[in-house]
Chains A and B, each alone.
Chain A
Amino acid sequence: MPILDMNTFNALKDSVGSDFVGELMNTFFEDANTQMLEMSSALASKDAETFRRAAHSLKSNAATFGATDLAALARELEILGRDNNLEVGSRLEVIKEAFEQVKIQLNELR
């Protein structure tokens, strides 16, 4: 699976303008960091609902940029949270790594 689906990314860029897409990326990156921190702390405090919400938002944003792989990983976490199953294994590390890859690719498209 490609890190970025260029059709989705280009559609987004066309719809908001190429200048604004950079601003949107910044917000995505900031919020993704917050969301991953929220997931870690929610995991520690066994707060499945907060965990699910953070995963849901990350999934939504990843999908907006065409980061299909990242979105799929976040979706898995969202489902675990929804099912009140916080045995996520190494998934948080995996998603952080996936996010870094997306970030690199997106920055190249600025």
Chain B
Amino acid sequence: MQNSASELARLLVVDDNKVNRMALSRSLELQGHVVETAENGQEGLEKFRSGVYDLMLLDIEMPVMNGFEVLEACLKDFDLRQTPIIMTSAMEELDAVVKCVELGAEDYLTKPVNPILLRARVNASLEKKRLRDEQRKLFRTFATKEVAEELLRTGFSLGGQIVTASVLIADIRSFTSIAESQDPSDSIELLNQYFSMMFDAVSQNGGIINQIVGDGILAVFGTPIYYEDHRERAVKAGLQMLEQLKVFNQNQLAQNKTAIRIGIGVTSGKMVAGYTGTHNRAIYTCIGDTVNLADRIEEYTKEALRPLLIDEYTREGLSAAYKVEDLGKIVFKGKNQAVSVFAVT
């Protein structure tokens, strides 16, 4: 990965005018980039589809296929849309350029291209692409590819919406004392193994990891992609976690290492979901009573001595295949009303 946008990037210059092609590519090469060229829109699009470029400089007025048509084709293609396109045009074509930028072109340059502007715009676009790529990578570590792409497709509009979804909170029992009793690097390794097991269970059931705090995980199901069966998916993920943990603990004990126990709370209902933060650093968060209750119920696993507890609305969403035991109504701290809690067995 590039550390700075001014580092080597692979660029495609599409222009039917030979002087423009030569001048642009030479200038960009002297700025340290690898440059390839195409003489018309169609050739440009074919090359661009190979997916090896970091950025395209695209002329508007061209034979065979003009820049506008190339831009439209690229924006329709999910993979191509990730690579920035800078339109290059004559001063008089400013109307067309505005249209291109509105459509989704990253930026524009008027010809004759000023070398200082060229450098600035190319580097800014590459830097933006780099940030987007990083964001995509980050998403992929927290969610399945499908969910990550959905998040990217719907954009990063900050601000929430009310959704109906399920929340799963999982916590390791007395991890602090485990951590204190062993080598720090062993603790980190243990956590990493644990998290990868938990992540698999979440993503295999269509959920996303929302937050990790210490050894705790908050996962949501049914948002940002809605699933009718979000409640069952969340419970299924919980059961899968327990199942995998059992295997994990057998291995741990066989190697004379620490076994871990976890508590899981699942609740369902309305919550506010959305991106919070700034445009540069935002996380997808869910907040509301449903989330708070999941936290309380997860805590309650210690008292109930059952690893997986759910609330009433979650239970209503489960098919008859799930065995559930009614633990009665519990009044949680900070809540006025008693809540029915069920253990999934």
Contacts and interface: CB of A to CB of B under 8 A. Distances in A.
Interface of A: 8, 11-12, 14-17, 20, 23-24, 27-28, 31, 53, 56-57, 59-61, 63-64, 66, 75
B123 interface: no
Interface in B83-126: 90, 92, 111-112, 114-116, 118
5 contacts: A20-B26, A24-B26, A60-B19, A61-B20, A64-B23
B114 A11 contact: yes
A7 B90 CA distance: 18
B26 A17 contact: yes
A75 B93 CA distance: 12
Most-contacted residue by chain A among B16, B19, B27, B114 (CB, 10 A): B19
B17 interface: yes
Given A15-B115, A60-B17, A63-B112, 4 more contacts: A15-B26, A53-B63, A56-B90, A63-B90
B254 interface: no
Given A12-B112, A15-B115, A60 B20 contact: yes
Contacts of B17: 31, 57, 60-61
B149 interface: no
A61 B30 CA distance: 21
Contacts of A63: 90, 111-112
Contact of A31 (B19, B90, B118): B19
Chain B at the A interface: SS class: helix
A61 to B, nearest CB: 5
A8 B112 contact: yes
A27 B111 CA distance: 17
A28 B17 CA distance: 10
Contacts of B63: 53
B305 to A, nearest CB: 74
Which 9 pairs show the lowest CB-CB distances between chains A and B?
Answer: A15-B115, A15-B27, A16-B26, A64-B112, A61-B19, A63-B112, A20-B26, A28-B19, A57-B17
A16 B18 contact: no
Contacts of A11: 114-116
A31 B23 contact: no
Interface of B: 16-20, 22-23, 26-27, 30, 61, 63, 90, 92, 111-112, 114-116, 118
Contacts of A57: 16-17
A26 to B, nearest CB: 10
Contact of A16 (B16, B27, B90): B27
Contacts of B61: 56
Contact of A24 (B22, B30, B92, B116): B22
A62 to B, nearest CB: 9
Contact of B22 (A14, A27, A59): A27
A20 B30 CA distance: 11
B114 A24 contact: no
A20 B29 CA distance: 12
A60 B62 CA distance: 13
Contacts of B30: 15-17
A12 B23 contact: yes
A12 B26 CA distance: 11
B20 A64 contact: yes
Given A11-B115, A64-B112, A27 B19 contact: yes
Given A16-B26, A56-B61, A59-B90, A64 B115 contact: no
